[in-house]
Structure 1
């Protein structure tokens, strides 16, 4: 089964569903990762002031993380970091439509729509638009993931709030997720920041307690056609 993970920024794919990606690839599924935003450039007052060497290094870290997770392929795009709202929504949709046409995925994992980060919100909207359930649509399931330090920091002030109803046991792959996250050393923070390894483990264990498992990644099923 072809599965597509569509993320806004480098590290979102690991934070949101790294353990699930590793589990699915170990089970023999072909998982493809698409990261639409360039990352880093929002730290500069003007995008054109960004150090392109650092952008290239970040792309290399994406490739290393994807390799650790066992991804079949990685697609990187150059949308402006934390400035997706300056890009016509249609342009974002077209990228995703092209990926779907090329890969014919049955399942898509992407951002939740009630997130604090504007890029994450736009990604969610674009994915839903690109996967309209017309007759020849290959996508049968869409699952939305949370991104620690972004989804929960909306403090349920933006609708819809994250209500997970699908849980993937990552007890055997949570260590792979942490190892992949370590590729993004510029994004990882010290505990108790949500993007610290300790917090990532704690989050997976917390969701695990909800469904009686040691470590879990939680998702909200947006649509499932069976």
Structure 2
């Protein structure tokens, strides 16, 4: 049976960095994948909004995602908004998508937008009686997780999505669409690092390639 999958991220490109290969796998499995981006993705960094939006559209096309939406909260300014307003916007999408699985940011990341997105998603999808329950998995973002204090980090991921070479290839191609966000190795947002990470995470679960997550909520 096809599943409804929702990915909620703070910035356009987080969906690729955090779970791009997993998105590809869901698409290949004929699941219904939707993506919600909370911010305009460029305002705080002085980048051209139109360029970033076109990069986002190109990435969606490469991934094969047809259902996506971007909100206009300001990049790196999510802490300036009331959490309840962000939660309400996510709940609107929740009612529309009725997801079986939600992927979002972990609270590990140093980036404050990522932390707030995690809190907003967990609030929007709190398992109230008489509501459809869904499983929630969280991912770290390269160039954000590496700089967090060790006192705030969870020890290890505890959920793995095994992926194929085609999934990793699509993730790499989608990330290459974000030309303004790519950096040369050894920067965490380099193509080489994404390939290394997929192999490393694969070895952690006895497979060639994988993407790792934290179980925020798993209900059977």
TM-score by length of 1: 0.92
Gaps of 5+ in 1: 45-50
80, 86, 102: which one aligns with 1:86: 80
1:18 aligns with 20
Pair 1:41-2:43 in alignment? yes
CA shift at 1:129, angstroms?
0.4
Q: String of CA shifts for 1:171-209, please: whole Å, max 9, x gaps.
A: 331010000001100001110001000000001111111
Structure 2 unmatched ranges of 5 or more: none
TM-score scaled to structure 2, two decimals? Answer: 0.94
Instruction: Give a deviation string over 1:134-164, Cα, whole Å, max 9, x none.
Output: 1243342000011011023214232x52631
Separation in 1, partners of 2:172, 2:151: 29
Residue equivalent to 1:206: 200
Deviation string, structure 1 residues 85-130 (Cα, Å, up to 9, x no partner): 0011111101110100111111100000121000000000000000
Select the residue among 115, 118, 135 that pairs with 2:112. 118
Aligned length: 217
Describe the shift of the 1:104–1:147 C-alpha distance in structure 2 as closer, same or farther (beyond 3 A): same
The 4+ residue runs of structure 1 with deviation greater than 3 A are none
In structure 1, C-alpha distance between the alignment counterparts of 2:210 and 2:81, rounded to whole Å: 35
Q: CA RMSD in A?
A: 1.3
Distance 1:100 1:149 in 2: 29
Could you tell me how far apart the structure 1 residues matched to 2:105 and 2:132 are? 19
Q: Is the CA contact 1:131–1:137 (under 8 Å) kept in the aligned structure 2? A: no
